Chains A and B, each alone.
Chain A
Amino acid sequence: MKKKKKTGRTGKTPAQLLKTLPEGSVSGELITAFAYDLDLDGAAVDGAAVITEDGVFAFEGGTPVRSVLLSDAEEFEYHPLVGACEMCAETESGPVVICRSSCTHADAMAKATRRLTRYRDTGNIAPAEGDAPRVCPKCGRRLRPGMNTCIRCASRSSLIKRTLKLALPYKKWLIISVILYFVIFAVTLAGPYVNRLLVDGYIDSETARAAVLAGDGGAVFRGFCLTVLLMAGLGLSSYLFQSLRNLSVMEAGCGLIVDLRRMVFDKIEKMSVKTLSRRTSGELMRSVTWDTAMIERFITNEVPGLIQQLVLLVAVTVIICLKDPLLALLVIVPVPLCLLIGVKVMKKFRKMYDKQWRAGSFSGSVLHDIFSGIRVVKAYRTERKEEARYDDAITKERDIEMKNEMIFNLIDPIFTFVLNLGTVLLLLYTGSKILSGAMTLGEVMMYTSYATLLYGPLGWMVRLPRMLSRTITSLVKIYDIVDEREDVPDAETAKEIAVTGEVEFDNVSFGYDEGVDVLKGISLKVKPGEMVGIVGRSGAGKSTMINLLMRLYDPGGGRITIDGVDLRDLSQHSLRSQMGVVLQETFLFHGTVYDNIAYASPGASREAVITAAKAAGAHGFIVKLTDGYDTVIGEKGHTLSGGERQRVAIARALLHDPKILILDEATSSLDTETEHDIQETLARLTADRTTFAIAHRLSTLRNATFLIVLDKGKLVESGTHEELMRQGGIYHGLVMAQRQMSKMKKE
């Protein structure tokens, strides 16, 4: 087998990389360099690619293998493969592969290719913002996109410290709970002592018996009753303090969990769409509900618990030690044994329960899957098949659970037995002391109680690692969200302006994934009040243009301006408050029709809402609803048809009265006639607002001032309907195809 040097994640800087290569083997000023690890046939190799003003030079094992000069290449491209990637060039004599690599170097390769292309296009040699790889400040390892903590360096203690800070506002309640705990503890400790007084002073006491026989029974009896009362009082106060303590823990806990959820939710809401789409909503929901609950429990229960149990352990050990060190030793003998078993077994348990949890969550998701698709299941009559699928999942879950319970119930008693072995040793020892008269019965009972008290914290500590590991998992997930960099942040000098609606796309390029551009060099100027129709095949980049205009993403190259101001310099609040959007997928929130129309314009008058609904052609069907505008719609409410939903969404956008209106297939679910009516209203409304409209049905765009045609991310045609028809390009083809279709329908 070939020996290969381990490829470290740290990597070398371009200058360091250049130094490893023979001198004078490249020409031109260095722009950047990256390492790669596969040769053209996919075998492992120690490669380096150097990018200079002259072109790209590839080296394998220190010897030059390929190079493409800038002057020979028409285009440099980065291609993601499966589990690998490559850098290519289009030259006059055909395509050339420059180098290949596993995905370990994909990010560096994509960025280098982009930088080279930018240099060729603009002569700009400086790295663009975001090109520099983010590295962990501690170890210098590269941070993956979407990862904010370097897991190797994330220390448990710093995480926990940060979390404890969250508890500061509630420290009053937490301190009260700890104090109360010790009060309860003192009461508990007093219990065995009073018990001993009772036994040694009255029940098993020669003097008491003698006093009673001597006729002084009254005094003895009074003392006896008092001691019993004292015991009862101790018990009562213990319960009282316990209640008080629970209340203060609850006070802290309830406040804390609201704080935590607010913190996580606020952050999630601020995240860009790009960041959000990396996580499933299930994941986010789990973080807001489950992970915060784990942390709340950790702060309110486990941290005070740790302090308490430690103090308890020390106190009880000292008390016993003071009386009889040998006794203390006997009590403690089983402890290391228990810890040993605990650590060994817990690891196994953790794996077991992890597996069970997975199986449970799997059967849950199977159920969810089947229920969401229940109409398809019914339509194809596949109930049996789904029954078998669910049955399979729950059977598997049952098997795992049964096995786990069996193992747990075999091991847990052993654990308890070993722990109780100490009590047996204790009895043996103290019993012999009684027999020899060195201890009284009361004392023995007291020490046995103390020993039992000791086993509480010991058992708790064995549980500690498992609990800590669960909390830390939650902590990391939460901080991963909270620490997420905002990737479309408001600039510090972000302006609030009232826009007139002049929009310009200036050589805009953008890709959702590194190195794969969805939009390429789009330039477009729109005057206030104009309506732009965006046409193109699916996947041509139409919706992406809209996403950029709404600044859900920032362009990778070029800029978008409104009234001459770069979107990045405009506050997002002011941008979106002057923008109205109707998307293909309309979303209605749970609430009344009124609430949904007035969603972006809170406090709108009923008259205004009805007017907007009329303009959107929605009033007609709303009037027919039994509860009119007060009808509850949304997930749990009255079901509206696709076309009705779209009209509610249009009404929402119109009421908002935006300067820029975006219609992304906004009328696609409507019949042609209704669409026509809304079009007419919109045409009258669009006079002083800039409108961007995407539609597959080209008749929708008949009112557009001009049309642009996108093809594979490039703006290929633009002009009025007539101009484009004369050109006889893509638009002409699309119109002809649709005419053909409608003609066929009529026949």
Chain B
Amino acid sequence: MESTKLKDVISIQYITPENAVFTEKEGFIALKFKTSDGEEKDYPRVKLQRNFPNETPEEFVSVLNKDDEEIAVIRSVAELDEATAGMIRRELARKYFVFKIRKILSVNQKFGYSQWKVLTDEGEKEFTVRDTYRNFRKIDADRATVSDVDGNRYEMSLTGLDRPSMKKIELYI
């Protein structure tokens, strides 16, 4: 008998051009989905969830219903048609909000917290980070993120920062 592979038993339900139609409403997206047994379902609002938010933010994106149950998975956003991909990208940007740091003006350690003053795409920002070593995360050679006490996320390009900025964060890298 031929051995059974895991993928023969369990299959991932993917979003395809045939089974899914996304539509964009004011600030969110809705989905018309045809299940594998041909049933058509209307979801007035779906949520997106990245399965690998750091490694492949545009691949393996789960589409969830209101109760956070998975409907299907987007294999790759780039494989969708242009209009849908745009919709999905906009929705992802809405859900995963991150400030982009362009320049680090100052980082001051005080009492186990650090006070950051940075220049972001949204203008100058000041924030506080608790337990900086744990909340500063180097993702790869270029990208690093830091999360503040409120839960906001900030992303920076390590190769894109100027030298004075880098000097201020070298301790955490």
User: Residues of A with Cβ closer than 8 Å to B?
Assistant: 1-4, 6, 38, 40-42, 44, 80-84, 94-97, 100, 102-104, 106-107, 144, 147, 149, 151-152, 154, 351, 354-355, 358, 472-473, 476-477, 712
Contacts and interface: CB of A to CB of B under 8 A. Distances in A.
B97 A42 contact: yes
B123 A2 contact: yes
A94 B97 contact: no
Interface of B: 25-28, 30, 44-45, 53, 66-67, 90, 93-99, 110-113, 115, 121-126, 128, 130, 133, 147-153, 171
A358 B110 contact: no
A45 to B, nearest CB: 10
Contacts of A104: 150, 152
A44 to B, nearest CB: 4
A2 B153 contact: no
22 contacts: A2-B122, A3-B123, A6-B125, A41-B93, A41-B94, A81-B94, A81-B95, A82-B53, A83-B96, A83-B98, A83-B152, A84-B96, A84-B97, A95-B44, A100-B27, A103-B148, A103-B151, A104-B150, A106-B151, A144-B149, A147-B149, A151-B113
Given A84-B96, A472-B111, 7 more contacts: A82-B153, A83-B152, A95-B66, A103-B148, A151-B111, A151-B115, A358-B133
Nearest to A472: B111
Contact of B44 (A84, A94, A97, A144): A94
Given A83-B153, A144-B149, A472-B111, A95 B97 contact: no
Contact of B121 (A1, A38, A147, A476): A1
Contacts of A1: 121, 123
Contacts of B44: 94-95
Contacts of B99: 83, 102
A95 B112 contact: no
A83 B111 contact: no
B124 to A, nearest CB: 6
A477 B171 CA distance: 21
Given A41-B94, A151-B111, A151-B128, A103 B27 contact: no
Contact of B27 (A6, A40, A82): A40
Given A83-B97, A84-B95, A355 B151 contact: no
B69 to A, nearest CB: 10
B45 A154 contact: no
Contacts of B150: 102-104, 106-107, 144
Sorted nearest first, the 3 A-B pairs with minimum C-beta distance are: A40-B27, A84-B97, A103-B151
Contacts of B93: 41-42
Contacts of A41: 27, 90, 93-94
Nearest to A151: B113
A374 B30 CA distance: 48
A712 B66 CA distance: 12
B124 A154 contact: no
A82 B57 CA distance: 13
A382 to B, nearest CB: 20
Contacts of B151: 80, 83, 103, 106
Nearest to B172: A358
Contacts of B110: 151
